[in-house]
A and B are shown apart, each in its own frame.
Chain A
Amino acid sequence: MNDLSEWPKIRPSGDSAVLVEFDNRIDPEVNRAVRSLALTIESERFPGINEVLPAYRTVMVTYDPLEIEYEALLEKIKIYLGRARNMDLPARRTFRLPTVYGGGHGPDLQRVSEILGLPPEEVIGVFSETRFLVYFIGFICGLAYLGGLPDKLRVDRLPTPRTLVPGGSVGFAGGQANAIATDQPSGFNYIGRTFVNLYNPQTFPPIPFVAGDEVLFPPACEEEALRAKGRRAEDFL
């Protein structure tokens, strides 16, 4: 069986969700197929379907089994997979979030620089020039999974995760990057911080990014970065 006939696969994930799986890799094209399918299913608003959750290479569809039977849902998804090929995705937006690097705001910069054998300025330079792709939103409180980290910046996670990393911290590990939205435990290496508001549960939507957006973290001095404190990320498009 070749790859084309093997993917996508559809299987149950518990009794109230199905998982549609595309090629097993983190790749912008695979993720494009994921987003196309998610948008197609959402735009149809079929009764019984509750939530449509895109990730790197999967779309989870949660449903009420008392409203739609599993087999009927599978048939629907197969039809949506066909339609998704013609789905236009929304235009990519680019966020530029001023970021203060190093010092107390980037506790791992020095260590990462030593591991990689690059001066801190170069780590900052490479990181801040990268146009990160928002693959999907998840984890907890609107964490954006960012892809596109250059191989030059490939380091492992911390051996022991920090119990608390302040919201807005910007960092990377294992080929991925993120800017965490609220104070959370994390095992990523954090090299800087943005003060732009990335999460507000009193507004809808509670987070600024959607999958497919692009994010850059241009270096800023502390004073400039702090001027963005509490401001909406949409002000930095």
Chain B
Amino acid sequence: MKAFEVLNPGILTTIQDLGRPGFMKYGIPASGVADSFSAGIANLLVGNSSGAAVLETTLFRLELLALEDLFIAVTGGDLSPRLNKNPLPMWQAVSIQRGDRISFRARKLGFRAFLAVRGGFDGPKFLNSRSVFARGLMGNPLKAGETLETEGDGLRLPCLKPLPADLIPVLSAKKPLRVLLGPQEERFTSQGLEAFLSSEYTVSSQSDRMGYRLEGPKVEHVKGADIISESIARGAIQVPGDRMPIIMLWDAQVSGGYTKIANIISADLDILAQVMPGESLHFKSVTLGEAHRALREERALLEKAQRAMEGRG
């Protein structure tokens, strides 16, 4: 079913689902929504499965015209979403009419917003996923004039009551991003490790869905920045010869030959997705056990949200 006409594609808007894990051995990154919690909630609110395809939009300017009466939900960063001339409430399902305009006017908090539509967005499927990865010839970002369609009817009725406030992520708190050191931490001097763990780093403007380049105190190697190329896990922080860390993210290359000092823990990738270039961040080292506990808590939160919306919470 036709759902929207794209009046303005914004800075960067792509269709994303949970991505295509399983193809890294063919050199293909998993891609998928950058903030899986926010995207999952948006889907659950409109009655979709948490992994249905959504729009992931960055910063501002996206403008859509509804071609049918629809149920939508917007979550993630606060990019001042509007329904016609009024603010569009976030973190709840909203019924909109044919002819309504949805727009994102200005970034207030966070960096990426997610728009789910009842039935999920349709789009070409490549290797089991609708996630756009233009560099790999798998779809393209939204263009002006394009028509967006829905795939199905949704699983359940939309949940029109707002999400319980304790389930909405707080974006303003300046928490450190938790990392697990390694796998090449011994390739850095103690000063290098100290600088990495105690300094503020600014996210450079050369940052995108592939990776965040950081600017700040140099992270010193013992001897050389190169290793024999090996696979790169999502959230790995590599430090090339210029000693500036790069966080490898959703659309990143799957292998590379630079030393990796640490890895963002899985539970904190959603937080990182909401950090904007120009903002600063800092790291805190945790144990593997702590990282796994944090992931368990994050999954439990999504399950709690699902129960709440199914009326069983």
Contact = CB atoms under 8 A, between A and B. Distances in A.
A62 B254 CA distance: 12
B266 A16 contact: yes
Interface stretch (B34-42, B62-70, B104-112, B232-240): B232-240
B231 A14 contact: no
B228 A56 contact: yes
B19 to A, nearest CB: 12
B265 interface: yes
Chain A interface, >50% SS class: loop
Nearest to A57: B228
Interface in B256-305: 256, 260, 263-266, 288, 291-292, 295-296, 299
Interface stretch (A90-98, A104-112, A113-121, A133-141): A133-141
B99 interface: no
B265 A50 contact: no
A138 B253 contact: yes
B292 A140 contact: no
Interface in A15-50: 15-17, 19, 24-26, 50
Contacts of A143: 27
B292 A141 contact: no
Interface stretch (A188-196, A198-206, A227-235): A198-206
Contacts of B22: 50-51
Interface in A177-230: 181-182, 184, 199, 201-202, 204-207
Given A12-B183, A14-B236, A140-B253, A206 B23 contact: yes
A24 B21 contact: no
Q: B26, B265, B291 — which one has the most chain A CB atoms within 10 A of its CB?
A: B26
Given A54-B25, A137-B26, A201-B126, A16 B254 contact: no
B24 interface: yes
A99 interface: no
Contacts of A65: 266, 291-292, 295
Given A136-B255, A138-B253, A182-B136, A11 B229 contact: no
A24 B126 contact: no
A17 B233 contact: yes
B182 interface: yes
B153 interface: no
Nearest to B228: A56
A4 to B, nearest CB: 20
A145 B25 CA distance: 12
B255 A14 contact: no
Contacts of B234: 14, 16
A55 B233 contact: no
A171 interface: no
Q: A15, A24, A65, A184 — which one has the most chain B CB atoms within 10 A of its CB?
A: A15
A70 B126 CA distance: 32
A163 to B, nearest CB: 13
B291 to A, nearest CB: 4
Given A15-B288, A70-B292, A141 B135 contact: yes
Given A24-B228, A26-B228, A70-B288, 17 more contacts: A12-B180, A15-B291, A17-B233, A19-B183, A51-B25, A52-B25, A53-B24, A53-B25, A56-B229, A57-B230, A136-B255, A138-B231, A140-B27, A141-B135, A141-B136, A142-B26, A201-B28
Interface of B: 21-29, 126-127, 135-138, 180, 182-183, 228-231, 233-236, 253-256, 260, 263-266, 288, 291-292, 295-296, 299
20 contacts: A11-B183, A13-B183, A13-B233, A13-B260, A14-B233, A14-B234, A14-B235, A19-B183, A19-B231, A50-B21, A62-B21, A70-B288, A139-B254, A139-B256, A140-B28, A141-B27, A182-B137, A199-B137, A201-B28, A201-B126
